[in-house]
């Protein structure tokens, strides 16, 4: 397996750092320490690179239960930032949080035929409890439309009760056959919103508002991931939905990741669970419902969009540590001198709302530089005895590795400016990459060539007749699926010919291989 050195110490030494990353701490075996920090699989082996970054950056590890993961503190801190960013947006749109049980009676799922068919292969079912066989099996929550629909039928009686705007943060279980940490696990964390409305128009407005103002706004502004927004094809929509919408992000290998979905459920679940209300005209009507969700797979997306040969690159807005201070000293008296300055600077940065950590481990500076690059901390601040004498420190960016000397009295302002620059720079870089890997094709031969070009894999935009048969054949032959029917087209033409069957088409579609 090809390997790359993650350290970049020739670009990141301060005036006091003369040691290299190959100098390792005394408490760890030399070979083990070097391999852990320096060697990652080449990104050409993207799957292996991803697994190693997740493990070595201390994001997560396997659990004793197949397909489940243990999210470690560093990874969970990113999830907490995602929770906070999404939760703030969700509540700002008038929604409230609540919680529903983990266990769902099996008969609930069976009330909506498409829903149970869609989830049947992934269900985890409890048949025994307390040493006895249960009278009815219980499903471990794969999603909550059914149990929430059952409850909403009691909560909704009049048009005056509407809308119901609720969200829950929870864990769900879907018994996946092939798993990857964060991207697809048997148990994962997420939020799921469930709302009830008086009219189809209200439900549709809710569905699109969540997609644009909550999901896409957060993912682009805080995770620095550009997304393509659009409607899912009928074969790709949520089981039991009237219409599904998604945002699709391009990963570092050119594959797509569905980063969040919002579903107009129509009246399907309302009819299955008798969610009716007495309208102002005195007639009883079925309500219109929605559901929408985003999960810990956003962490996997962040890793795969921004990561490089040195490991993680975490956008400043969600970084658990925005600035790491690396003190540099050789003698005890130098440490005392450096420590006083580092302590003062750390306190000042923290008081300004910057998430900062000082690294006082006994590892050599070069090792620390590589270690924090691996963990994706946006800014590194190097401080040694000469820096103290000159009342300045050296700031090093993770995204570009550019470095600059900054006086103490300008440090807070410069750090704040750089964090904002890094945030925007990471989004711009991801957008340029997506644009460079997005292709418009007119023929099926060109379509197949693009999907077979592993080194330049990406999104293919083309005309599609909308037929399920063409969609299925394309998937069978190329493994590409319709990711979405984008709201924004890259063509002004109102129609064309289906890329597969050649029949007239009015649907412009984004195809890609996907996670």
Rounded to an integer, what distance in angstroms lies between the CA atom of residue 488 and that of residue 499?
A: 19
Give 366's contacts (C-beta < 8 A, 6+ positions apart).
7, 9, 13, 17, 19, 20, 21, 22, 23
Query: What integer pLDDT is reported at residue 109 of this predicted model?
Result: 86
Q: Which two tokens stand for residue 369?
A: 């530089």
Diameter over CA atoms, the chain: 85
Rg (CA), the chain: 26
Q: How far apart are the first and last CA of the chain?
A: 23
Average pLDDT score over residue span 493-513: 97
The pLDDT confidence band at residue 39, using thresholds 50, 70 and 90, is confident
How large a percentage of the chain has pLDDT more than 70? 92
Domains, the chain, with CATH or none: 70-306 (3.30.930.10), 321-421 (3.40.50.800), 439-512 (3.30.110.30)
87 pLDDT more than 50: yes
Q: Which residue has the higher pLDDT, 9 or 100?
A: 100
CA atoms within 13 A on the CB side of 76: 6
Q: Which residue has the higher pLDDT, 38 or 273?
A: 273
Ramachandran category for residue 130: left, alpha or beta (phi over 0 → left; psi -120 to 50 → alpha): left
23 pLDDT more than 90: no
Q: Which two tokens stand for residue 148?
A: 């929430």
The pLDDT confidence band at residue 101, using thresholds 50, 70 and 90, is very high
Average pLDDT score over residue span 456-464: 98
Residue keyed to tokens 């690294």: 359
29 pLDDT more than 70: no
Query: What integer pLDDT is reported at residue 116 of this predicted model?
Result: 67
Residues 464-493 have pLDDT tens digits of 999 999 999 999 999 999 999 999 999 999
Average pLDDT score over residue span 203-226: 98
The pLDDT confidence band at residue 121, using thresholds 50, 70 and 90, is confident
Of 173, 197, 170, nearest to 68 by C-alpha is 173
Query: What integer pLDDT is reported at residue 37 of this predicted model?
Result: 60
Query: What integer pLDDT is reported at residue 6 of this predicted model?
Result: 38
102 pLDDT more than 90: yes
Of 12, 9, 10, nearest to 381 by C-alpha is 12
Q: How far is CA 242 from the centre of its chain?
A: 25
Rounded to two decimals, the pTM is 0.91
């Amino acid at each position: 397996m090809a390997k790359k050195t993650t350290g970049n110490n020739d670009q990141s030494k301060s005036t006091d750092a003369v040691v290299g990353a190959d100098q390792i701490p005394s408490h760890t075996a030399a070979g083990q320490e070097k391999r852990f920090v320096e060697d990652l699989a080449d990104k050409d082996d993207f799957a292996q690179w991803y697994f190693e970054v997740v493990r070595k950056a201390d994001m997560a590890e396997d659990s004793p239960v197949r397909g489940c993961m243990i999210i470690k503190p560093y990874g969970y801190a990113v999830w907490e930032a995602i929770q906070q960013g999404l939760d703030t947006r969700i509540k700002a749109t008038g929604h409230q949080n609540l919680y529903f049980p983990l266990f769902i009676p099996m008969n609930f799922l069976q009330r909506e035929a498409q829903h149970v068919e869609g989830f049947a292969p992934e269900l985890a079912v409890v048949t025994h409890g307390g040493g006895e066989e249960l009278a009815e099996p219980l499903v471990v929550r794969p999603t909550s439309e059914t149990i929430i629909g059952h409850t909403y039928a009691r909560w909704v009686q009049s048009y005056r009760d509407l809308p119901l705007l609720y969200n829950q943060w929870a864990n769900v279980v879907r018994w996946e056959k092939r798993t990857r940490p964060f991207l697809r696990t048997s148990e994962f964390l997420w939020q799921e919103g469930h709302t009830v409305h008086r009219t189809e128009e209200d439900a549709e407005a809710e569905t699109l508002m969540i997609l644009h103002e909550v999901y896409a706004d957060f993912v682009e502004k805080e995770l620095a991931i550009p997304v393509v927004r659009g409607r899912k094809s009928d074969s790709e929509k949520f089981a039991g939905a009237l219409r599904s919408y998604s945002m699709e992000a391009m990963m570092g290998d050119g594959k797509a990741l569905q980063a969040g979905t919002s579903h107009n459920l129509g009246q399907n679940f309302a009819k299955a669970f008798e969610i009716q209300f007495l309208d102002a005209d005195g007639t009883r009507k079925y309500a219109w419902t929605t559901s929408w969700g985003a999960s810990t797979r956003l962490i996997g997306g962040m890793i795969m969009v921004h990561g490089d040969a040195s490991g993680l690159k975490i956008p400043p807005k969600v970084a658990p540590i925005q600035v790491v201070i690396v003190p540099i000293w050789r003698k005890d008296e130098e440490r005392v001198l450096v420590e006083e300055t580092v302590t003062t600077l750390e306190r000042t940065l923290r008081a300004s709302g910057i998430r900062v950590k000082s690294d006082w481990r006994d590892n050599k500076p070069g090792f620390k530089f590589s270690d924090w690059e691996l963990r994706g901390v946006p800014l590194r601040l190097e401080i040694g005895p000469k820096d103290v004498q000159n009342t300045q420190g050296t700031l090093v960016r993770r995204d570009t590795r550019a470095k600059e000397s900054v006086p103490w009295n300008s440090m807070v302002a410069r750090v704040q400016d750089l964090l904002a620059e890094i945030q925007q720079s990471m989004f711009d870089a991801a957008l340029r990459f997506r644009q460079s890997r997005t292709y418009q094709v007119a023929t099926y031969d060109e379509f197949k060539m693009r999907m077979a070009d592993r080194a330049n894999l990406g999104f293919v935009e083309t005309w599609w007749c909308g037929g399920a048969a063409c969609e299925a054949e394309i998937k069978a032959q190329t493994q590409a699926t319709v990711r979405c029917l984008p709201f924004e087209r890259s063509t002004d033409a109102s129609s064309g010919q289906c890329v597969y069957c050649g029949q007239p088409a009015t649907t412009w579609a984004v195809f890609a291989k996907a996670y």
